[in-house]
Structure formats: C-alpha cells, structure tokens
Amino acid sequence: MAFERERRKIALMSADRRLDVALPLDGTLGDALSDLGYSIQHGHQVVLDRAGNEARLGATGADLQDGALFAIVDLHQRGAVDAARARSAEVETARTVLWWLLGVVAVLLAAVALLTSPGALGPAEPVLGLLVALGAAASAVAWGLRRRTDATAEGLAMLAPLGLAFAAGVLVIPRQLVAGDQLSVVTGMLLAGILAALLTATVSGGRLRSSAGTATIILLALAGVWGVALLLGWGIPAAAAVSAGAVAPALRFLPTTLVNVPEGHHIDYRHFMSNRWTVRGAIPETPDRVSMPAVREIVHESSARLLTGTVLLSLIAAVSVPFALPALAAGNPFVFGGTVAFLAALLVMLVLTPRHTPSPVLRWVPRAAAALILVEITVGVSGAFGVAVLLIAASGLLLAGIVAAAVIVPVGRGASSLVWSRLADILESTAVAVAFPAALLASDALSFLRGVMAS
C-alpha cells in the first residue's frame, strides 16, 4: 500500500506500443518519457491527455491522477498517411479507368462482330473469339482476387470480364449459319452468365458474391429470352423488344430480392406456428440476437445487388432498343403501337425510378440510359421516316430543355409538390404495367398466337 501511495499508475500510448508506467510522486512526465526512450521534440511530437489536450511534460506524479492516459502523437505522421492515401487513391483511380477501358473494348468488339457482315473478319474470327475468351477468363480471375470494400467500384468492374465473355461468344459462332446472329447473341449471353456463376461460386467476399450472383440471374434470364425467341423463329427485333420491355418490371421487382436472410429473421415461427408445413418439415430457427456487424454486412450485400442489377438492366435497355426499332416500320398496327408504347413506358420508367434512391450512381445510370435511348430513337426514326421527323424530335427536345431549365431553379431551392409526386407515381406504375405486354405486341406475338390456334 505504501508503494501505491508513493507512485502514480499511468498509461502511455504511441504508434508502436502501449505501456503501463508507475511514476514517482516527485518524478515528471517528461523524465518518464525520456527513460522509456521517447524524445519529445517541439513541433514534431506532442503528448495528449485523455481529453485531447496537450499535457505538460513538467507535471509531476503528484499532479497527475491515478490511471491517467497519455498519447504520443507524431505530427508528421499524418502527412505521411495522407500522402499514402493519395497515392492509393491515384492507383485505385487508374485501376478503375483500366476496367472501364476494358468494358468499352468488350462492347466495341461485340458491336463490330454484330454489325459487320457475316464472314467479314474471315477465318481469323473464331481465333479472335478464343483470344477474347482467354482475356475474359484472365480479367475475371483478376477481379475475383481483389479484396476491396467499395462495392460500387467492384460491381462496375465486374461488368468488364462479363462483356468480354459476351464478345467471345459472339465471335466464336459462325454467323453464316441460319439465324447465326441470334445464335451468337445467345452464346454470348450464356458464356457471360456461366462466367458470372463461376465467380459467384469462387469469390469469398460477400459483396463480390452478391454482385456476381445478381449478374448471373439477369444474364441467364436474358439468354433464355433470346433462346426461346430463336426456337420460336422470331427475329432479332422481336427478341430485342421483349428484352427491353422486361427491363421496366425488372427494375421495379429488383428491390424485393435484395435482402437475403433466413425466414426465421422475419417471424418467430417456433412461437407462432402450431402445425408444420409437412410431416418432416423443419421449423425455421429464430436468431437469439441480431448484431450490428451482421446487419451491416447484409446491407452492404443488398447494396451490391441493387447496384449491379440497376446498371446491368439499364445497359440491357440501351443496347436492345436499336435492334427493336425496325418494328416501327412494320405495316402491322399492333406491332407499331406496341413498339411505341413499350418505348414510351421504358423511358418513363428509367427517368422516374431513380427518384427513390439517394445514390448518385443509381440516380444517373438509368437516366443516362434513357438519354441514350432517346438519341437512338431519334436517329432510328429519322432514318426510317425522313428529316421531317428529325426536326420534330429536335423541337420536342428543345421544348423539354426549356421546361427543365424553368423547373430546375425552384427545385434547386427546395421546392416540392405532392401533386407532381403522386402524378409521377401513377406514371411509373402505369409504365411498369404496360411495358412488357406492349413489348409482346411489338414482337408480333399476336400473329404467333393466331398460328398456334389455327394449327
């Protein structure tokens, strides 16, 4: 007890260690630091107490409280840390640019393969397809080995190897075959979906696995749509119309698939359930407690699914619309009306859906897709119907720009309207209900049904 009365027990923390010190009542804090090997230089290091205030090095043990905590802070270490973070941010930005360039190259390869005439690349086309497939596998391995915490960047980077896989499938199939273009698209979608499934099974990160799983479902479903259209004898415009028309309900349905937790997290089945579903059915277990790390991980995985699904669906809509535009020149009024209806519904859905999310990426990716679709429609319609339609479309865009310029000022000042919000909800719900049935009309499904009923 005498020893405790003659000394003060204090704790010292630095960047490399933590020490418990017994300081004599007549000893100073500076002497204790010198004995421990710390040379405190003014302007280079500073000693802080528990409250974050600078401690006096001349304070004796009698002036200190028993159990006091002091931290030795290197003032130049923050500059080094900031410099390291800046270098890491530059490296990460360069990597992101490389992934974007890889994705653009994949899209250009697929576009060149689909837009050129069959056999234009000669016998080197299958060899090029194999090389692109090897590139897709290598880039997928590189993506899977990354262990970043930014789900947004990872979800976007994953689309690059999937795009290469799609381009490889397009290049490998000889398009001189009957319906070779459609078969190449189906093969490309299958290869991209299989690669995404392999990534889902192999990556260990929860967010990476969630992104890859969402891409797998979307790509394989799209491959199924094009495969069924190929078996039914529908052309590329019909398959593209159905694919683009399915984007609107898929965007609405996507948020309902995000939170993936066991059934016992929702309802305490063991408490409320009186009968089993089947004789040997198991009652879902209810967790004893819910921890914040587990909730945070579920939220991150759900955000990764939402990001990947939204970006991929927006990309599918923007790529499919140009192939569906030839239906506007069809003489069938049902095909023409269905094409106009599903294009209008798709534009409304892509513009209004981002109102529900605060994320900048999720807000502007669908709207960028809508702007690109509007340009595609303008160019396609002007090519099919003449310059007069192009002038009308340009006038409409000018009017829309004037209205947007007039509205953006009060909206930027915080103005809001419940009436306009309700009107937007009604338009969005109507677009979801109309898009896919109208796309079926655009694909001339009525003629197919008439043929089935007549046979």
Task: Output the six-digit token pair for 379.
Answer: 């160019």
* pLDDT at position 2 over 50: no
348: number of Cβ within 10 Å: 20
Say which residue, 20 or 185, is predicted with more confidence: 185
**What's the rounded mean pLDDT across residues 310-332?**
86
Cα atoms in the 13 Å half-sphere on the side-chain side of 424: 15
| Ordered DSSP codes for 111-127 | HHHHHSPTTTTTTHHHH
Give yes or no for a contact between 165 and 220, defined as CB atoms under 8 angstroms apart. no
Residue 122 has pLDDT above 60, yes or no: yes
The per-residue pLDDT of the chain, averaged, comes to: 78
Q: 386 falls in which pLDDT band (50, 70, 90)?
A: low
Give the containing element (helix H, strand E) for 12. strand 7-13
74 compared with 196, residue with greater pLDDT:
196
pLDDT at 222: 93
Predicted pLDDT at 412: 56
Contact 234, 443 (CB under 8 A): yes
Does the pLDDT of residue 132 top 80, yes or no? yes
Sorted by sequence, the CB contacts under 8 Å of residue 423 that are 6+ apart come out as none
Position 190 pLDDT exceeds 90:
yes
Confidence category of residue 78, pLDDT binned at 50, 70, 90? low
Q: Where are the beta strands (DSSP E) in 31-68?
A: 45-48
**Which H or E run contains 355?**
none
Give per-residue pLDDT as tens, 196-217.
Answer: 999 888 887 778 888 888 999 9
The helix/strand/coil state of 285 is coil
Question: What are residue 288's phi and psi, to 5 degrees?
Answer: -65, -40
The answer to whether 121 and 128 have CB atoms below 8 angstroms apart is yes
Best CA proximity match to 286, nearest among 275, 301, 299, 271: 271
Residue in 68, 65, 88, 57 with CA at minimum distance from that of residue 13: 68
Helix, strand, coil share of the chain (percent; to 5): 70, 5, 25
**Rounded to an integer, what distance in angstroms lies between the CA atom of residue 447 and that of residue 444?**
6
**pLDDT band, very low/low/confident/very high, at 387 (cuts 50, 70, 90):** low
Of 157-166, 254-263, 370-379, 437-446, the least confident: 254-263
DSSP label of 52 = S
Q: Nearest to residue 302, comparing CAs of 221, 211, 218? A: 211
Instruction: Give residue 159's pLDDT.
Output: 82
Residue 279 region by backbone torsions, left for phi larger than 0, else alpha for psi between -120 and 50, else beta = alpha
**How big is the chain, counted in residues?**
455
Q: Which of 129-133, 278-282, 295-299, 367-371 has the lowest mean pLDDT?
A: 278-282
In the predicted model, what is the mean pLDDT of residues 46-69?
A: 76
pLDDT value, residue 217: 93
User: What secondary structure does DSSP assign to 321-368, as a single string?
Assistant: HHHHGGGGG-S-HHHHHHHHHHHHHHHHHHHHGGGG---HHHHHHHHH
* Tens of pLDDT, residues 256-307: 888 777 777 777 777 777 777 777 777 777 776 777 777 788 888 888 888 8
Q: Treating both helix axes as pointing N-terminal to C-terminal, what angle do 236-245 and 206-232 enclose, rounded to 10 degrees?
A: 140
Say if residue 154's pLDDT is above 60: yes
Distance CA 276, CA 304 (A): 35
Nearest residue to 156 via CA among 92, 217, 86: 92
How many CB atoms neighbour CB 267 within 10 A? 12
State the pLDDT confidence band at 313, using cuts at 50, 70 and 90. Answer: very high
- Contact (CB, 8 A) for 188 and 162: no
* pLDDT number for residue 445: 83
Q: 327 with 343: CB under 8 angstroms?
A: no
Residue 28 has pLDDT above 90, yes or no: no
pLDDT reported for residue 400: 66
pLDDT band at 3 (very low <50, low <70, confident <90, very high): very low
User: Given pLDDT bands bounded at 50, 70 and 90, which one contains residue 244?
Assistant: very high
